[in-house]
Amino acid sequence: MSIPSAPRPIADFLAGRRIVVAGVSRSGQAAANAIFRHLRRCGYQAIPVNPNAAELEGVPSYPDLASVPGPVDGVIVATHPSAGGAIVAAAAARGIHRVWFHRSFGAGSVSPEALEACRAHAIEPIVGGCPLMYCQPVDPFHRFFRWWLRLRRRIPG
């Protein structure tokens, strides 16, 4: 469940229930893993994508977005920035227009090429932050981080 005060793009993204998380790692230590686990605890059908694993965190994983069966409501990109453009193109090919680029410090998962791919496919991405700042329950660190990133205009609204 999302926070009622979430900015419109984030509330719209989190209204979808079937969300792909690109970048879930086999080690379990990546930010994508924390996002994946938290979405599942919040009642979302989170789907991991990793080209090197058939199963992650006890659920089937897919090598790419094109391989994920069934409808997908949104994609969280928590990968190296170089992968973002291809993920956006795959999302557009499937008719997915909700894309969220994870970023806490630095560039995160976004790249100029990925943003250009979004523009080319009329996708309004969310750039920055992460769902852990909005999906209940929000831990104190992510609550503070949401406030801090909003002050610096690094996330919507």
Look at residue 113 and give its three-state secondary structure: helix
Residues 69-113 have pLDDT tens digits of 999 999 999 999 999 999 999 999 999 999 999 986 666 899 999
Q: What are phi and psi of 83, to 5 degrees?
A: -85, -15
Question: What is residue 116's predicted lDDT score, i.e. its pLDDT?
Answer: 97
Q: Domain of residue 110: give its range.
A: 8-151
Q: What is the CATH number of the domain that holds 28?
A: 3.40.50.720
| Residue 119 CA: distances (Å) to CA of 91, 99, 115, 157 | 13, 12, 6, 21
Question: What is residue 106's predicted lDDT score, i.e. its pLDDT?
Answer: 67
Contacts of 65 (CB under 8 A, 6+ apart): 20, 22, 49, 72, 75, 87, 90, 91, 94, 96
| Cα 39 → chain centroid | 10
Residue among 106, 109, 100 at smallest CA distance from 134 = 100
- 157 within a domain of the structure (yes/no): no
Domain count, the chain: 1
With both helix axes pointing from N to C terminus, report the angle between 112-120 and 84-93 in degrees, rounded to the nearest 10.
Answer: 20
- 54 within a domain of the structure (yes/no): yes
- 19 within a domain of the structure (yes/no): yes
Q: Which residue's structure tokens are 């769902």? A: 131
Looking at residues 39-60, what average pLDDT do you find? 95
Kindly report the pTM of this predicted structure: 0.91
Counting every residue written for the chain, the total comes to 157
DSSP-derived letter for residue 62 is B
- 95 within a domain of the structure (yes/no): yes
Question: What is residue 92's predicted lDDT score, i.e. its pLDDT?
Answer: 98
- 1 within a domain of the structure (yes/no): no
Residues 110-127 have pLDDT tens digits of 999 999 999 999 999 999
**What are 124's two structure tokens?**
């309004």
